[in-house]
Amino acid sequence: MSTPRIAFVGAGQVAATLAQAFHRAGSKVTAVYGRNRSRADALAALVPDLMVCDSAQDAADAADYVFLTVSDDAIAMVCESITWSPDKAAIHCSGATELSALDHAAGQGAAIGGFHPLQMFANPTVSLEKLPGCTVTIDGNPPLIDSLEVLCRAIGCRPMRLPPGKRALYHASANYIGPFVIALMRETVEMWRTFGASEEETMAALMPLLHGTLAAVDDRGLAGGMGGCVARGDVGTVKRHLAALDEFSPQAASLYRTMTLRTIPLAIERGTLAEENARQIRDAVST
């Protein structure tokens, strides 16, 4: 289907971003349904001729491709609330959920697929701006998976197909780069509070460091971009860090020990950490 009509069931951040992106790319975004009517109305104000529906069924009836942009735990329930037909496609946008959540639609003859943009969706305006260039993991069978790749490329994203059974591990890995980074930044903010720095002051200092770290990795790869006291083999500095962290928070010190052990192989690969210094650092974090 060259220009499928697209509907969204669920009117949250993901729907708001994708609906606008698909519309800008020339797709026919026809309908939206959300339990929160005000969110659906707000989305309709951003996409011309988008119809706000009174039920998930009405939205599905108005489209060929139905994107279920609801919480992961609600996908199967919402899918089962809709009557499907062979001319429809049910597509969820979950990173961790297998296509089996859409078995109800498949049993009624509909095509089923997955379409997960690897992006943080906290603000649709920012997400829409940052969407081009991001990876979208796609699942399904031909011809739907091929059409989803076309949609992905049309909005400037990079499609990646996932084999069955790997979605949970893939999605867990994304937490290391997204939410866990934010959690680490919050922990840094709490450390800086002990010497009087506000969150705003801490973030003003951290963001250039974070951008510089990403630039170094982008330029030289993971091992080549590795810096810091472990990469330099500064055993004494590691010990001082541990003493300070043990006083600040045993949990923070435990996390530091774990992450230091993960850092050592990269520092060795980079060629700046001698094996003897690596042994000393391992001993320091193991005591």
pLDDT of residue 287: 82
Sign for the pseudo-dihedral over CA of 38, 23, 33, 113: negative
SS3 158: strand
CB neighbour class for 276 (10 Å; exposed up to 12, middle 13-18, buried from 19)? exposed
pTM of the model: 0.89
pLDDT of residue 260: 97
Cα 118 to Cα 137: distance, rounded to the nearest angstrom: 7
User: Could you tell me if 189 and 203 are in contact, meaning their C-beta atoms sit under 8 angstroms apart?
Assistant: yes
Instruction: Tell me the per-residue pLDDT of 253-275, one tens digit each, with 9 for 90 and over.
Output: 999 999 999 999 999 999 999 99
Where are the domains positioned within the chain? 5-165, 176-286
Instruction: Tell me the per-residue pLDDT of 105-124, one tens digit each, with 9 for 90 and over.
Output: 999 999 999 999 999 898 88
CATH of 5-165, one of 3.90.600.10, 3.40.50.720, 3.30.450.20, 1.10.760.10: 3.40.50.720
Cα 230 to Cα 257: distance, rounded to the nearest angstrom: 11
